[in-house]
Structure 1
């Protein structure tokens, strides 16, 4: 069993972080973070499936696949270094060189991530100056991790952090992480940017498998606006400093590690969905009794991404027809005359539909339930015994306002 603790990406032993205001795009706030491990780490990663991939994605994917080890991650907010061609890849190489010199590492030990406006060139002089400033002031612990989480935000209104501990081989193992993501969130692998650290001793191939195992039911089950980013990156580093018996096969220790990792990823995913651009509530969709896990995931995401449903949630309108419609165009075949629909929140639970037909429910009660900060739609398909949960948010006027002038 794992235990939730305070902290984030710097909670695990042997990891230190820094932050700085480099002035890359923002002039009045921090916009860079640096994560460093005291020893070499097994490195795992999942990346965007968007055909248009940012330069840092290409850089990281090569290192994870070819080397499988790393020591540091440099992150900047404000400019994405996407659609910048060979210039962008050159900036990646020079950024890694700067970090390597500042930290006494090889460039191939440095991973990179960027988020922000597409098509702009990163100012290399500011990037390198920021790395130098951070390298001289690296710290561990929850306060340092929190500051780093704030440094990677763009349109986010709050930092996203999570950490857990568990016991493996009689040793205390920690997993912690930070993420950013508020808009352009419709992952097809993970999320905008996410960085997870652990002091667990585990083989790189199993670390990669663990990450790939938890992504489908966590990061791949969130959506804010249906747009899959060019920069989606989730990196997981494990330095082995917990000194547990190295996990080299899929045994009980591996399964316990996967469950704890899933808890961290699930928490970060829900935090991102709740902080969707302009959002006023977290919208959760639970599909029950589907024929398979795959169909349950498809159905849940179809509802959570429906613009009409999201607008109805914002208006506190129990318009169940939009939910049934979204289920119907998901691509999953089911019997609509067997579906039951419910809304629930901290203010109560109400059934709206039974066997595909509306019940004589109280609109006033339904509206009151929908005014809560977290609203859940429950879709009972009565087709099997599989289930899935997706997370999103309502669609508000502020979403349009934010994205109408994002580049300014």
Structure 2
């Protein structure tokens, strides 16, 4: 089924979707006389259905609270306004007032109805937004708003904080003579432990999709993408993924047409997975991307707990940075997940690269039924010296699995984050 979907990994982004316009401008949100792009606008004149997933942190930024209210209220939506450089989190009543002011300004400059725009912010926590700059930026964004690749790329750049590169992707497939497009952009490099991290992702499609199906598609894709990455184990106050569908293609996705629905969901998953891996791969000062596959668990929850224990272990992550195949640390982390694993049943292997299928070519065992395979030491070392590799852990206790994408932890991460 995925073979019927064309993926463009470094596309212009959301403006690839017919009917969507974008803009990215500089308005000095950081208040340092910087010309860096820091405000983005996404707009569809055609009304959209919408879905979203958000941080589960008890402390939620004002835009998150506002967006959840808007989604709960239902209705049609037309766009999103996003600023970087300031999270508008932990800013009290002023923060909520500022988020609403951004919403109202975006609606006014685009001629959109009330409560039809979402608001997102990312950046430093605890600082009030410089609203004069932000509102001026929204005005300017409206004057350059269009469906060009240039403005789509500018929008993707404007949402970045500590990222080193923009993150965009487009997926397309044909159905009965029509082309369906799903495209997205994201940001995120640090404070990444989505459930959801300082990560934002925005996805758009020209398919006609009900809120219920759009929401189900996003939640399904989110489980194996944005909620399956970790850089540093820190959950943000601002994590948001928003999905807009404007129906411009005229093709309606319904659960009654199972084949079409499956194609659409696979396209959404492909977009989310691509963006999630780009976030993990751009972790702050990381040098390695590591896929942690835990299978043979009695249930998915157990597999996830083991994977997260390994992927968030500071000892494990620093050994990866040092290209040290210290599988003892992996096993220790798996054990303190406390899901009832049995040492004598465990198979553990190092695998080159990030294979996306069940084929683990070049897999080198470290443990077989709990017994160390020490003769393979030089091969383990070679694999973990690469920029991308996989840890394959089989608990041999059941049939469930979970895949997590993690990173190493470097001196550069500490140096970068020791002061804002």
Classify the TM-score, shorter chain: over 0.9
Query: In the alignment, which residue of structure 1 is the partner of 2:366?
Result: 352
Alignment of structure 1 residues 46-125 onto 2, 5 Å: 46-125=53-132
Task: Quote the Cα distance in structure 1 between the aligned partners of 2:231 and 2:56.
Answer: 17
| 1:373 aligned residue | 387
For the residues of structure 2 that align with 1:300 and 1:35, how far apart are their CA atoms? Answer: 36
1:12-23 alignment runs, 5 A limit: 12-23=17-28
Higher mean C-alpha displacement, 221-230 vs 143-152: 143-152
Q: Distance in 2 between matches of 1:142 and 1:298?
A: 41
- Is the contact made by 2:199 and 2:240 (CA closer than 8 Å) also made in structure 1? yes
1:392 is aligned, of 406, 413, 416, to 406
Bigger mean CA offset, 255-264 vs 296-305: 296-305
Aligned to 1:3: 6
- How far residue 361 of structure 1 moved from its aligned partner, in angstroms, is 2.6
Greater shift in the superposed pair: 12-21 or 283-292: 283-292
Q: Secondary structure at the match of 2:90?
A: coil
Distance 1:250 1:292, change over 3 A: farther
Residue 43 (structure 1) aligned with residue 57 (structure 2): no
Q: Is the 8 A contact 1:160 1:272 kept in 2?
A: yes
Taking the TM superposition and a 5 Å limit, the aligned residue runs for 1:262-341 are: 262-341=269-348
Partner of 2:236: 229
Cα distance between partner residues in 2 of 1:245 and 1:198: 11
32 and 48 in structure 1: CA distance in 2 versus 1, 3 angstrom threshold: same
Partner SS, residue 63 of structure 1: helix
1:245 to 237, 242, 252: 252
Question: Which residue number corresponds to residue 254 of structure 1?
Answer: 261
Which of 139, 152, 174 is the matching residue for 1:167?
Answer: 174
Q: Is the 8 A contact 2:253 2:260 kept in 1?
A: no
The runs of 5 or more residues in structure 2 that have no matched partner are 354-360
SS in 1 for 2:310: helix
Q: What is the aligned-residue RMSD (CA, Å)?
A: 1.7
Q: Which moved more, 1:139-148 or 1:72-81?
A: 139-148
* TM-score under structure 2 length normalisation: 0.93
* CA drift at 1:364: 2.9
Q: 1:23 to 1:190 in 2, by over 3 A?
A: closer
Q: Please, which of 157, 162, 172 is the counterpart of residue 155 of structure 1?
A: 162
8 Å CA contact 2:57, 2:237 repeated in 1: yes
Structure 1's unaligned 5+ residue stretches are none
Q: Residues 382 and 246 of structure 1: is their aligned pair in 2 closer, same or farther, counting only changes over 3 Å?
A: closer
Larger displacement relative to structure 2 (375-384 or 113-122): 375-384
Q: Does 1:218 align with 2:232?
A: no
The 8 Å contact of residues 188 and 197 in structure 2, kept in 1 or not, is answered as: no
State the SS of the aligned residue for 2:305: helix
- Determine the C-alpha separation between the residues in 1 that align with 2:326 and 2:273: 28
TM-score by length of 1: 0.95
Which whole-Å deviations, capped at 9, do the CAs of 1:96-138 have from their partners, x for residues lacking one?
Answer: 1211221111240111000011110111111111111111111
CA contact (8 A) 1:191 1:219 kept: no
Number of equivalenced pairs: 406
Does the 8 A contact of 1:169 with 1:244 survive in 2? no
